[in-house]
Structures are given as C-alpha cells and as structure tokens.
Homo-oligomer: A and B are copies of this chain.
Amino acid sequence: MGNPRLREVAVVGIGQLPVRQHHAAELRDLAAEAIGLALADAQALPEQVQALYASAMLSDELQNQKHVAALIADTAGLAGVEALEVRAATASGAAALRMAHLAVASGEVDLAVAVGVEKMSEGVVTPVLAKALDAQREVPDGTTLISVNAGLMQLYLDRYGAPREALALFSVNAHANARHNPYALFRERPITVEDVLRSRVINPPIRLLDCSPICDGAAALVLAPAEAAGRYTRHPVWIRASTVATDRFRVADRADPLALEAARCSAQKAYAQAGLGPEDVDFFEAHDAFSIMACLLLEACGFAEPGRGWELALQGAIRPSGRIPIATRGGLKARGHPIGATALYQAGEIVQQLTGRAGGNQLPNPRVGMMQSVGGAAATVLTHIFVREGG
C-alpha cells in the first residue's frame, strides 16, 4: 500500500468560483480569484506558495493565450514560484492535481496550488473540444466528443437492453443535487425523466439534457504534506491515491468500446495505492459529461458489473441516500463543466463532503470520496481517492 518514500499529502484549502458565464472577467482573473479563495481557506499567504500547477484546455483558441501557468502565477501575486501547465484534454484539471500531488509527496514542494480555469463563453467550442480526438483519423469524418458518446450510448442500449429512462436518471440526480450547491450553474432547474426524454435531440440517442453545459469557471486546491496540515486547517483531507492510465486512443481500436480500460486500470492502480476497494468508497464524483459516461465509469470502477450500471440509477443507488452517491453537488451535468477547472471542482466538492461543508448536499458522515476525470473519449483517465482525517 503506497510508496514509503512518498509523504502523505493533505488538501488544506479549496477555492471555487460560481460556475456561470463570466463575460466581464479575464481568464487570468478567474484563476487568480480561485487561488485567492483557496489560500484564504488554508489561511496561507501567497509568499508561502512554492509551486503552481495550472490547467486550461481551450485557452489557446478561445483566449489566444498559451503560457497560462506563468500568467496566472503573476496575476495571483505568485511570480517567482515554479509554475507549469499540465494537460490531458478534458481531464486537464486532474492532470494539474496529479503533478501537485507528486511535487508535495516527493518532498520537493511544501505548499503547492493546483488551479484549473476555463472561459468557454467567448467562442465556438465544439471544434476546439474535438481536438481531444484524433485530428487525422476521426475529426475529418465528422467525429466529435458528442458523436463518440452517442455511439457508446447506442451500443450500450442495444447490447444490454438498458431502459432509456434509467440513463435519464443520471441527469435527474445531477440537477436535483445542484439545487443545493450555490456554485452550480443549474441550481434553479430540477428536471424530470420526461424533461430529459423530451429535450432536443443533439446526436441520437443523446438529447440536450444528457449533456453537460458550456460555461466558465475556476477552482483551486492547496496541498501540503500531512505533517504540516495542522498549520493551515483543522479539517485536512488526505489524498490517498493519484493515478493516470491511458487506452488505445481511438474507440475504434479498442477490443470493447464499452469497457473503458483506462478508467478500469486507473481505478485499480488507485485502489492499490490507497489500500481500498470499491466497497470502501462512500461517494463518487464521476466525469458525467454525458449520462452514458457516468454509467460506464461506475462499471469500470467496480461499483456495478459491466452492463448493469444503469441499475444503480434505477434503484436510486446514485442518489445522496443511496449506496454510491454520484454528482453530489451537481456533477459536470448540472454544476457545470468548465473543462480545465472541472476536476478541481470535483476535488473541492469531495473535500466539502468529507469536512462537513457540503451544506444542503451534505452526506451523512462520509469517509472516502473518489473521483475520475476523463480525457477525450477516455483515452486518458485519472483517478483520485480522498480520505477524511482519522479515516
């Protein structure tokens, strides 16, 4: 279990901006504001920060801006620190967290910030998002992230005979939970199965309410070695696993398109790192960019047998009162999916749950929270497992 060479790492501060359309703010300012909130939460000063790992997937095109880590560091008053950008397409926020965890665990960095930001409201995002797919062998055929997910959903429905209503319940659960999250985009919109099934067809069988929305946001985490966590917070949360795995890049090259090998492999590595199994996980922040993805990830992580993830939705097991709650603060579907920031929202929400700060969404006494972050068509998947103090 774990690597004895590595230090245990604690999350000692979190910061989130409300997921909205932040037309007036610049990308850098959104990120710096999230960092400021996270440092305030950790009662830490900018001078104490030694490293900043940043992610923004779309800034090259939408803001004509590269080199965002150094730009954000400067804006946040951190000029001087180590600052690098880490990416894995739509999982980029988790990639920044992975590097921050490694830097602190190794002993090289004593206080690190992972920040993610995205400002999607100023541009046409679909062709930019499609760059997460194979530009030579997929995109020229009209393939997009939506069409890939539509193909997986159709195959799933056909192969396993899952009722379409069951998949709609992933979105219903997400919207219900978002109502209590002041940072969520769709906090005013509880929806029903009928709403999902009557919503506009985007790419059959995917309808509008199967999809996460386009939005702006920024979120940050402050990480410190466990032995120093008490200096920053009375409620540290341990990161017990931080793993990455990849799969064949194109879905067409995979033995079973519904198996999501990168998710399975990344979860297995994470369980081994943490010395835990799926039975120990109290809740799961899945990368529910599309409802089918939430279902497939539940299966890949061992929360359901292959082909039976939809039963968890139908049985209510994914609801806050169920066996394996997901999207507890709204998920990508209803909190929103500002790409580069998303995983840092997920991580912050897990910390909120584990420290009793989830407000109207609070789960009863959770001990272990897990998250997965999906890059592109699941060619890259990252898994993080968090455990509360004393857990």
Listed in ascending order, the chain A residues whose CB lies under 8 Å from chain B are 3, 5-7, 26, 28, 51, 57, 60-61, 63-67, 69-71, 73-75, 78-89, 95, 98-99, 102-103, 105-108, 131-136, 139, 243-250, 253, 261-262, 265, 375-376, 379-380
Docked complex Cα distance between A179 and B261 (Å) = 48
Q: Say how many copies of this protein the assembly contains.
A: 2
> What residues on B are CB-neighbors of A245 within 8 Å?
80-82
Docked complex Cα distance between A37 and B164 (Å) = 50
Q: Which of B57, B81, B380 has a CB less than 8 Å from the CB of A83?
A: B380
> What residues on B are CB-neighbors of A131 within 8 Å?
60, 64-67
Check B64–A135 contact: CB distance below 8 A.
yes
Docked complex Cα distance between A134 and B28 (Å) = 10
Docked complex Cα distance between A87 and B71 (Å) = 13
Q: Interface majority SS on A: helix, strand, loop or mixed?
A: mixed
Check B99–A69 contact: CB distance below 8 A.
no
Check B108–A379 contact: CB distance below 8 A.
no
Q: Which of B6, B67, B265 has a CB less than 8 Å from the CB of A89?
A: B67
Q: Which of B65, B81, B107, B249 has a CB less than 8 Å from the CB of A246?
A: B81
Q: In whole Å, how far is A140's beta carbon from the nearest beta carbon of chain B?
A: 10
Q: In whole Å, how far is A26's beta carbon from the nearest beta carbon of chain B?
A: 6
Check A87–B88 contact: CB distance below 8 A.
no
Docked complex Cα distance between A85 and B375 (Å) = 12
Can you show 15 pairs from A to B with CB atoms below 8 A apart?
A: A63-B135, A65-B131, A65-B134, A67-B89, A70-B246, A70-B379, A70-B380, A73-B246, A73-B249, A79-B248, A83-B88, A84-B98, A84-B380, A85-B88, A85-B95
Extra inter-chain contacts (17) besides given A26-B136, A67-B249, CB under 8 Å: A3-B108, A6-B107, A6-B108, A66-B89, A66-B131, A70-B375, A70-B380, A74-B250, A81-B245, A81-B246, A83-B88, A83-B244, A83-B246, A84-B86, A84-B87, A84-B99, A85-B87
Q: Which of B98, B106, B246 has a CB less than 8 Å from the CB of A74?
A: B246
- Those 7 A-B pairs whose CB atoms lie nearest each other, nearest first: A67-B89, A5-B107, A82-B244, A106-B106, A74-B249, A66-B131, A70-B379
Check A108/B99 contact, CB under 8 A, given A88-B84, A246-B82. no
